[in-house]
Structure 1
Amino acid sequence: MTKKTHKYSNKKLSRGEPPNFSGQHLMHNKRLLHEIVDRAKICKEDTVLELGAGKGALTTVLNERAGKVLAVEYDFKFVEVLKKKTAQSQNTKIIHQDIMKVHLPKEKFVVVSNIPFSITTPIMKMLLSNPLTCLQRGVIVMEKGAAKRFTSNFVKDPYIAAWKMWFDIQYVKVISRKNFSPPPRVDSAMITINRKPKPIVSYSDYVIFWGLADYVLKNPQISVDLALRGVFTPPQIKHLKRSLQIKNEISVATLSEQQWGLIFETMVKHVPKFRWPKIKKPY
């Protein structure tokens, strides 16, 4: 009989394995757990969303500090453990749900999580791709390679370019695989997320920006001149490069957040709407 595959990563699943379990490694270092919560600056005014709560090692630290904890877990066995551990904690709600189907809080919230490796990118898209959510900040532990990619100055994915218009995403530190059970094959890393006090692109324009980023980054290695053709005229590109202080040929993947903001502002002001790149679904 053919095994079912993971609906986000296409990896084969063993019988009885929940759809987001593959890649979930439970953290057991108590000092590290407290460091994560300290880094998130959790206080009694905070609503905290924890994705992939496991057996509650992080949950029980969070509910000592936060006003409300929403702990999401799919595995039934883990859910039972979570309920027992938090039975006396009235500020903690256990949500037995597939992470990718959970509804984000309608109130301002902080995300603090050790997320499953296999759905790292889908989780980040769910959290960051729509700036109109109520996410304020977060601390997330994830696979090291993904953390490096999300925080790199070399941006080849349009969704990462978009995230950086509204959120500051910083790489904090590597976390050894020895801190997890079962230990993963690779190390993890901690990142922080903070909503920018002033967005580079207005929230109301986020779908328009998505169209631009998706168009420009179809080939991240090509030059700015080539990437902008079809949206801007040659004279506009020449003028824009001067404004961007680009003298030599550089790839569009190396554009800074501020340069992306200037390109977008120039497009909105000087390019007819019929030439704006469109995108059907931005996330």
Structure 2
Amino acid sequence: MIKRKLLGQHFLNSKTIAESIVSEAKITKNDVVFEIGTGLGVLTPLLCKKAKKVISVDADENLIRKAKTTLSDLDNLVLKSGDGFKKKDLFSIFVSNLPYSKSKDAVEWLAQRSFSHGIVMVQKEFAEKLVAKSKNRKAISIIATYAFDIEKISNVRKNNFSPPPKVDSVILKITKKNDMDKKLISTINEIFSYRRKTVKNVLKQFGKESEIEERVDDLTGDEIVNLAKQIIKK
């Protein structure tokens, strides 16, 4: 378990919650499901029952080795070890109990992928950050709300995991709204490091001119995305 804790991952041990996640994912026999975090395989066989194909990835090679034995009867399952956020597989639905340490990276990675929707379980505090408004926003809030429609499904108590994390989790449904590329995401992150500055001063940092005296903090999410697009434009 020590390695698992280092990865910031905790095993879901509730079949009821696993069934709820699969139900909310609205999977059909036309769907390819991409699962990050095979874990002990609580979710994986349930996904396979519904999907055309399931690609399940785990960073822990030992877990993939075990899954290849315990789930060997599932002929629509592809198991892979490694960093799921570096894989190039095509999929229509994403499902994951996201490792806490990788949640921000995961959202930025998903923002760059084309897919229909996903069900993700994240730390409660991170879920609140994703949908935060005004002064509580982070750059990831702007990226997430531009890329996805985000709907809270339910809270999950920490005792549903082993080892139990220190905080509760939240199940979210994310529906893809806009594709983003790496450059746009990195520019939004950079703009947000100047959030207290005026648009005029921020654009000056990028060698562009503007007369807008509003601060970045006072712009809407879409306005910040449009500002990033303006900066990127040659």
TM-score between both structures, scaled by the size of structure 1:
0.69
- Give, in angstroms, the shift of residue 169 of structure 1: 2.8
CA contact (8 A) 2:48 2:54 kept: yes
CA distance in 2, matches of 1:229, 1:79: 48
CA contact (8 A) 1:216 1:227 kept: no
Counterparts in 2 of 1:25 and 1:93: CA distance versus 1, 3 Å: same
CA contact (8 A) 1:48 1:110 kept: yes
CA contact (8 A) 2:188 2:225 kept: no
Q: Which of 131, 141, 145 is the aligned partner of 2:121?
A: 141
CA contact (8 A) 1:21 1:75 kept: no
Counterparts in 2 of 1:68 and 1:253: CA distance versus 1, 3 Å: farther
CA contact (8 A) 1:153 1:254 kept: no
CA distance in 1, matches of 2:73, 2:91: 25
CA distance in 2, matches of 1:149, 1:77: 33
Counterparts in 2 of 1:94 and 1:110: CA distance versus 1, 3 Å: same
What secondary structure, in the 3-state scheme, does the structure 2 residue paired with 1:164 have?
A: helix
Structure 1, gaps ≥5 residues long: 1-12, 242-250, 268-275, 279-283
CA RMSD of aligned residues (A): 3.0
CA distance in 1, matches of 2:78, 2:225: 40
What fraction of aligned residue pairs are identical, expressed as a percent? 24
Q: Per-residue displacement from partner, 1:229-259 (whole Å, max 9, x unpaired)?
A: 524422xx27xx7xxxxxxxxx634533343
What secondary structure, in the 3-state scheme, does the structure 2 residue paired with 1:134 have?
A: coil
Aligned residues: 229
- Give, in angstroms, the shift of residue 260 of structure 1: 3.6
Structure 2, gaps ≥5 residues long: none
Alignment partner, residue 90 of structure 1: 75
CA contact (8 A) 2:216 2:224 kept: no
Q: Which moved more, 1:182-191 or 1:71-80?
A: 71-80
The structure that has the greater radius of gyration is 1
- Give, in angstroms, the shift of residue 189 of structure 1: 1.1
- Give, in angstroms, the shift of residue 134 of structure 1: 2.7
Structure having the larger proportion of residues in helix: 2
- Give, in angstroms, the shift of residue 54 of structure 1: 0.4
Q: What letter corresponds to residue 147 of structure 1 in structure 2?
A: A
Alignment partner, residue 192 of structure 2: 217
